[in-house]
Structure 1
Amino acid sequence: MNDTGSSRLALLRFLERVQERDLSRTRGWIADGERRQAGRRVGAARRPPAPAFLIERGLDRRNIVALHTGECWDPAKRAKPAIREQAVEALRQQVPACTKCGPNTALGIVD
């Protein structure tokens, strides 16, 4: 009796089942990744635009500590969005401009 043909066929069927399971799992990972990517796109579309300028307040929240551009990486959590007119007025009141982002240069006001 030669069982090598039937045992080989059984092994190939087993391999096929394993590969189908792996392919199914991989397709699930792809679907999860596509859902996450779609969610990020929706989130990015809903995100409000970055403010043009940020006014950073001190610990007592009364005095203004610094003026930043909206893209600056350095402002503290106490920074609030500001429009161009507010930023110009802050510079007129001698509020220090951030040395990292240069909001005075962005406004066209250079000391």
Structure 2
Amino acid sequence: MKPAPPEWIVELGIGVGRPPVQLHRGTCYMAGKRRRPVKRDEARRLLTGGTGACSHCRPDAGLGMIDLGTARAA
């Protein structure tokens, strides 16, 4: 039996330190191969720290962190 996917994953960049690039829900098909699971608190910190949210799986919406200013402009 396959283990359940993590709730949130962070996609990592290339190179020394592998900086976080984008946050995804654990089941997102758009997440790259360089990734690691993160807990809810870390996912929220990543988003508030400037890490991008995947536009396909919308982890920001799942975390209740939708930027209303951006949503109104769209």
> TM-score, length-normalised on structure 1?
0.57
Aligned-partner Cα distance in 2 for 1:90–1:104:
10
Q: Larger helix proportion, structure 1 or 2?
A: 1
Aligned-partner Cα distance in 1 for 2:30–2:5:
15
Find the partner of 1:68 among 24, 37, 40: 24
Aligned-partner Cα distance in 1 for 2:18–2:26:
21
What are the within-5 Å matches in structure 2 for residues 9-24 of structure 1?
A: none
**Given the alignment of the two structures, is residue 90 of structure 1 paired with residue 61 of structure 2, yes or no?**
no
Aligned-partner Cα distance in 2 for 1:70–1:80:
10
Query: What amino acid does structure 2 have at the position aligned with 1:77?
Result: K
Aligned residues: 66
* Superposed displacement of residue 62, structure 1: 2.4
Q: Runs in 1 of length 4+ with deviation above 3 angstroms? A: none
Give the unaligned 5+ runs of structure 2: 68-74
Q: Larger strand proportion, structure 1 or 2?
A: 2
How big is the alpha-carbon RMSD for the aligned residues of Structure 1 and Structure 2?
1.0
**Given the alignment of the two structures, is residue 51 of structure 1 paired with residue 12 of structure 2, yes or no?**
no
